[in-house]
Structure 1
Amino acid sequence: MEVSEASFSRFVFTTTGGIMTEIAIDSSIRGKFGKESMKRLIAIIAAAAVFSFFQFACPVPESLSREAMSAVGILLCCIILWVTEALPFIVTVVLIYVLLPMTGVLPFATTTLENGAVVQSVFNQSSLMVPIYCLFIFAVTAAVMATPIPFRVANAVLKWSKGDSRKIVVGLMMVTGIFSMFIADLAASAIFVGISLSIVEANNGVKKLSGLGKALTLGIPAAALIGGIGTPLGNSSNMLVISMLETAIGFRVTFLGWCIANIPLALAVTFLSSLWIVRVFKLEDIKQDAYLVVESKLEGIQGITVKEIKLIVWYVIAFGLMIASTWLPQINSIMVALIFCVLAFLPGLNLLTKKEFYESIPWEVIMMVVGIQVLATGLVGTGVATWFVNTLLVGVEAWPALLIVLVMCLVTLVLHLFIPIGPPVISVAIPLLVAVVSAVNMAAGSMVVNPGIVACIGGGLCVVSTFFPLDSIILIGYDKGWISMAEYVRKSWAPTVILLVASVIWLPIISGVAFPA
Structure 2
Amino acid sequence: MKAEKKRVVGVIGTVLIIAAALLVSDAGTLSTASVRGFAILAAALLMLITEPIPAGIVEPLLLVLLPLLGVVTFDQSLKNAMTTLFLFLMACYGISMVLLKSSIPERLAVFLLAKSQGRPLYVVGAFMLGTALISSVVSNVPCAVIMTGLAARVLHAMGEDMEKSPLGKAMMMSVPFGAVFGGMMTPAGSSLNVLAITLVEEATGQKVLFTEWMLLGIPLALVLIFLSVPILTLFFKVKPLEGGVMEKVLKEMHNHEKLSNYDKNALMILLVTFVLWVMTSWVPRLNVTMVSVLTLTVFFLPGLDMLTWKEYSRECGWDTILICSAILSVGAALVETGVTAFLVTVISPYFTNTVLPVFLLIIALLVNWTHLLIPTASAIVVLYASSFAVLSASYGYDPRMISFIVAAMASCVLLIPFDPVVMVSYTKGSYKMKELFTAGTIVSTIWALLLALWIPFAFLFI
Using structure 2 for the length normalisation, give the TM-score: 0.93
User: Could you tell me how far 1:290 is from its partner in structure 2?
Assistant: 5.5
Among 39, 45, 65, which residue is 1:79 paired with?
A: 45
CA spacing shift, 1:341–1:209, aligned 2, 3 Å: closer
User: Could you tell me how far 1:174 is from its partner in structure 2?
Assistant: 0.8
Q: Deviations over 1:36-58 (max 9, x none)?
A: 12211112211222232233147
CA spacing shift, 1:395–1:202, aligned 2, 3 Å: closer
Distance 1:93 1:498 in 2: 35
Equivalent residue number for residue 9 of structure 1: none
CA spacing shift, 1:271–1:398, aligned 2, 3 Å: same
CA spacing shift, 1:292–1:356, aligned 2, 3 Å: farther
Q: Does 1:316 align with 2:316?
A: no
CA spacing shift, 1:484–1:108, aligned 2, 3 Å: closer
User: Could you tell me how far 1:165 is from its partner in structure 2?
Assistant: 1.5
Among 98, 113, 124, which residue is 1:143 paired with?
A: 98
Among 285, 306, 312, which residue is 2:240 paired with?
A: 285
CA spacing shift, 1:369–1:274, aligned 2, 3 Å: same
Distance 1:489 1:207 in 2: 19
User: Could you tell me how far 1:420 is from its partner in structure 2?
Assistant: 1.6
Equivalent residue number for residue 267 of structure 1: 222
User: After the TM superposition, which of the residue ranges 353-362 and 180-189 deviates more from structure 2?
Assistant: 353-362
User: Could you tell me how far 1:176 is from its partner in structure 2?
Assistant: 0.8
Q: Deviations over 1:265-309 (max 9, x none)?
A: 22221221112112222223334345545543433x322233222
Among 9, 26, 42, which residue is 2:9 paired with?
A: 42
Matches within 5 A, 1:422-437: 422-437=377-392
Q: Does 1:221 align with 2:176?
A: yes
Among 472, 478, 487, which residue is 2:435 paired with?
A: 487
1:244/1:373 contact within 8 Å kept: no
1:227/1:270 contact within 8 Å kept: no
User: After the TM superposition, which of the residue ranges 337-346 and 485-494 deviates more from structure 2?
Assistant: 485-494
SS in structure 2 of the partner of residue 256 of structure 1: helix
Q: Does 1:60 align with 2:27?
A: yes
Q: Does 1:502 align with 2:450?
A: yes
2:55/2:319 contact within 8 Å kept: yes
Equivalent residue number for residue 454 of structure 1: 402
Structure with greater proportional helix content: 2
1:232/1:238 contact within 8 Å kept: yes
Q: Could you tell me which amino acid in structure 1 is paired with residue 434 of structure 2?
A: A
SS in structure 1 of the partner of residue 16 of structure 2: helix
Distance 1:227 1:507 in 2: 17
Equivalent residue number for residue 325 of structure 1: 280
SS in structure 1 of the partner of residue 411 of structure 2: coil
1:229/1:460 contact within 8 Å kept: yes
User: After the TM superposition, which of the residue ranges 494-503 and 349-358 deviates more from structure 2?
Assistant: 349-358
Among 67, 74, 78, which residue is 1:101 paired with?
A: 67
Distance 2:65 2:329 in 1: 11
Distance 2:250 2:379 in 1: 38
Among 339, 356, 366, which residue is 1:384 paired with?
A: 339
Distance 2:156 2:252 in 1: 15
User: Could you tell me how far 1:208 is from its partner in structure 2?
Assistant: 4.2
2:118/2:246 contact within 8 Å kept: no
Equivalent residue number for residue 123 of structure 1: 78
Distance 1:334 1:164 in 2: 40
User: Could you tell me how far 1:217 is from its partner in structure 2?
Assistant: 1.6
Q: Could you tell me which amino acid in structure 2 is paired with residue 40 of structure 1?
A: R
SS in structure 1 of the partner of residue 349 of structure 2: coil
CA spacing shift, 1:385–1:411, aligned 2, 3 Å: farther
Distance 2:77 2:174 in 1: 41
CA spacing shift, 1:258–1:360, aligned 2, 3 Å: farther
Q: Could you tell me which amino acid in structure 1 is paired with residue 106 of structure 2?
A: F
User: After the TM superposition, which of the residue ranges 405-414 and 100-109 deviates more from structure 2?
Assistant: 100-109
Distance 1:271 1:302 in 2: 31
Q: What stretches of structure 2 of length at least 5 have no aligned partner?
A: none
User: Could you tell me how far 1:473 is from its partner in structure 2?
Assistant: 1.2
Share of identical aligned residues, percent? 24
CA spacing shift, 1:85–1:508, aligned 2, 3 Å: farther
Count of residue correspondences: 461
Q: Which has the larger radius of gyration?
A: 1
Equivalent residue number for residue 15 of structure 1: none
CA spacing shift, 1:218–1:315, aligned 2, 3 Å: same
User: After the TM superposition, which of the residue ranges 410-419 and 481-490 deviates more from structure 2?
Assistant: 481-490
Task: Note the aligned Cα RMSD (angstroms).
Answer: 2.1
Q: Deviations over 1:187-223 (max 9, x none)?
A: 2212222222222233232344311011112121221
Equivalent residue number for residue 200 of structure 2: 245
Q: Deviations over 1:442-467 (max 9, x none)?
A: xxxxxx32111121122211121212
Q: Deviations over 1:338-370 (max 9, x none)?
A: 222111122233332334423331011111121
2:24/2:32 contact within 8 Å kept: no
2:197/2:207 contact within 8 Å kept: yes
User: After the TM superposition, which of the residue ranges 159-168 and 485-494 deviates more from structure 2?
Assistant: 485-494
Matches within 5 A, 1:151-170: 151-170=106-125
CA spacing shift, 1:292–1:65, aligned 2, 3 Å: same
User: After the TM superposition, which of the residue ranges 134-143 and 479-488 deviates more from structure 2?
Assistant: 479-488
Q: Deviations over 1:153-193 (max 9, x none)?
A: 11112211112121100121111111111112112212222
Q: Could you tell me which amino acid in structure 1 is paired with residue 111 of structure 2?
A: A
Matches within 5 A, 1:331-350: 331-350=286-305
Q: Does 1:132 align with 2:99?
A: no
Equivalent residue number for residue 375 of structure 1: 330
2:110/2:254 contact within 8 Å kept: no
Distance 2:22 2:459 in 1: 40
Equivalent residue number for residue 26 of structure 1: none
Q: Could you tell me which amino acid in structure 1 is paired with residue 115 of structure 2?
A: W
CA spacing shift, 1:510–1:105, aligned 2, 3 Å: same
1:379/1:431 contact within 8 Å kept: no
Distance 2:432 2:331 in 1: 37
SS in structure 1 of the partner of residue 14 of structure 2: helix
